[in-house]
Amino acid sequence: MAKEIKQDNKPEKKLEKKPVHQQEKKNKEAIKAQQSSVVLVHGPVIPMPKDYKVRLKEAYTAQVRPALMKDFDLKSPMAAPKITKIVINIGVSEAKENIQALDLAKEDLTLISGQTPQVRRAKKSISNFKLREGMPIGVRVTLRGARMFEFLDRFISLSVPRIRDFQGFDPRLFDGRGNLNIGLKEHHIFPEVNMEKSPKARGMNISFVTTAGDNKKGQALLEYLGLPFKKPKVEQPRA
């Protein structure tokens, strides 16, 4: 005879289901706690504190401006030359084929300047370069105020000494009105750039716009701020 199989008549335990609104609330709290513990790198640029004092800006007010007034015999502090803005441009020619290159250049320029850059697009179509009107070809950022002096301080103190075979900027780079235009071959001179993420060296152009009006005052202003220039060669008399 077949053995009879005994069946337990015990009721099965049912899993207690929590209310849906309580579970959603706990999930939101967990997500908020996780976001608060992670630093957002690609997020918006953090604004500078109102009471933040820029070292180079204070040096201009206390030392550079009185020295310029004395050298050029200026009676009013408002007549002394000053920097109004710094414009940084990075061209990305491969952006028309690979849009990720533009995003990478935009991220690098954000780290360098501390400000979100603007995407520049082609104004005309050029068939020889396979360029159409409206295509993204570069990024640009314009710095003013405290961010401008902060970038200039870091550029002079940290980036310029890392330029290869650097012997000073050429004074002929001035445009005749006291504005200096510098072309750099590598953006890796900035310590903020991550070499692993952006191994390709990109050229960039930096324009220092001043109120000098002529090259002599513009060069004196930037020299007092700490920007090095090439010294003119002194011809030695022949024996």
The CATH fold assigned to 82-225 is 50s Ribosomal Protein L5; Chain: A, (3.30.1440)
Looking at the DSSP assignment, which residues form a beta bridge with residue 142?
87
**8 Å CB contact between 86 and 56:** no
The answer, yes or no, to whether residue 215 has pLDDT greater than 80, is yes
Helix (H, G, I), strand (E, B) or coil at 64: helix
pLDDT at 26: 61
- Most distant CA pair in the chain, distance: 132
pLDDT at 105: 87
Q: Band the pLDDT of 24: cuts 50, 70, 90.
A: low
For the residues of 194-218, what is the DSSP string, one character each? Answer: -TTT--S---EEEEEEES--SHHHH
152 φ, ψ to 5°? -65, -40
Q: What is the pTM of this model?
A: 0.74
Compute the average pLDDT of residues 85-94: 89
Q: Tell me which of 208 and 19 has the higher pLDDT.
A: 208
pLDDT at 232: 75
pLDDT at 98: 76
**C-alpha closest to that of 183 among 165, 202, 162, 158:** 202
Task: Return the domain boundaries, the chain.
Answer: 82-225
Cβ-in-10-Å burial (0-12, 13-18, 19+) of 113 comes to buried
Q: Tell me which of 92 and 134 has the higher pLDDT.
A: 92
Q: Packing angle between helix 99-113 and helix 145-154, nearest 10 degrees?
A: 90
The answer, yes or no, to whether residue 127 has pLDDT greater than 60, is yes
Q: Band the pLDDT of 45: cuts 50, 70, 90.
A: low
Percent of the chain residues past pLDDT 70, beyond the cut: 76
CA distance 67 to 77: 11
At 111, list the tokens: 């780290």
The Cβ-side half-sphere exposure at 142, using a 13 Å CA radius, reads 7
CA distance 208 to 85: 6
Instruction: Report CA Rg, the chain.
Output: 29
At 178, list the tokens: 């006291």
CA distance 130 to 132: 7
pLDDT at 92: 85
**8 Å CB contact between 144 and 176:** no
pLDDT at 60: 92
pLDDT at 121: 80
The answer, yes or no, to whether residue 84 has pLDDT greater than 80, is yes
**8 Å CB contact between 229 and 91:** no
* pLDDT tens column, 223-235: 999 999 988 776 6
The answer, yes or no, to whether residue 66 has pLDDT greater than 70, is yes
Cβ-in-10-Å burial (0-12, 13-18, 19+) of 112 comes to buried
CA distance 19 to 199: 52
Q: Band the pLDDT of 15: cuts 50, 70, 90.
A: very low
